């Protein structure tokens, strides 16, 4: 079980010609919209702070920016759910050397579409997880050719059988 990967989001943002790091886009917008923030915070903490600041601000131009920011996130996630093979390849190829494993895998990715940074809370929603897993297992037709994934790691080629269950709230 994992969350929608930040690195994959950055890859998709780069492909769209956007600022790669979401926190960088938020900082730039905060500066231009005169939203104060603590420049000494870590990027991870600052991302949460800025998302809260934008979502809670009632100014029209701030809300317009924030809705576009969230819309872009949702578009990337929706496209990924519809065509998950690039994400699966990315997950295999971006694993660390110490955790390297070419095993067949079924990924379970939890996503809170309204608050991506709170996706971790879905891990506690046993009924939702069970429902989505049961739905997958009871309705999935397993075609080995569609499950086969070619990928590379450290200049070596691998083949694995893999799929993903997206649990979206």
| Banded pLDDT at 141 (limits 50, 70, 90) | confident
- Cβ neighbour number for residue 150 with a 10 Å cutoff: 10
Q: Is the model's pLDDT at 96 over the cut of 90? A: no
The 10s digit of each residue's pLDDT in 2-31 is: 999 999 999 999 999 999 999 999 999 999
pLDDT of residue 98: 84
Residue 152 pairs in a beta bridge with 157
Average pLDDT of every residue of the chain: 96
């Amino acid at each position: 079980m994992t969350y929608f990967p930040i690195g994959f989001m950055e890859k998709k943002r780069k492909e769209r010609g956007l600022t790669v790091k979401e926190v960088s886009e938020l900082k730039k917008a905060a500066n231009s919209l005169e939203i104060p923030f603590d420049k000494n915070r870590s990027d991870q903490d600052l991302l949460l702070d800025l998302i809260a600041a934008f979502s809670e601000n009632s100014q029209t131009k701030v809300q317009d920016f924030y809705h576009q920011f969230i819309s872009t996130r949702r578009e990337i996630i929706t496209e990924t759910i519809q065509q998950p093979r690039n994400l699966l390849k990315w997950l295999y190829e971006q694993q660390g050397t110490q955790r390297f494993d070419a095993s067949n895998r079924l990924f379970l990715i939890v996503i809170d579409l309204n608050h991506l940074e709170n996706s971790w809370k879905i891990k506690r929603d046993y009924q939702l997880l069970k429902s989505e897993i049961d739905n997958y297992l009871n309705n999935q037709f397993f075609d080995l050719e569609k499950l086969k994934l070619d990928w590379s790691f450290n200049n070596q080629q691998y083949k694995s059988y893999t799929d993903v269950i997206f649990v979206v709230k």
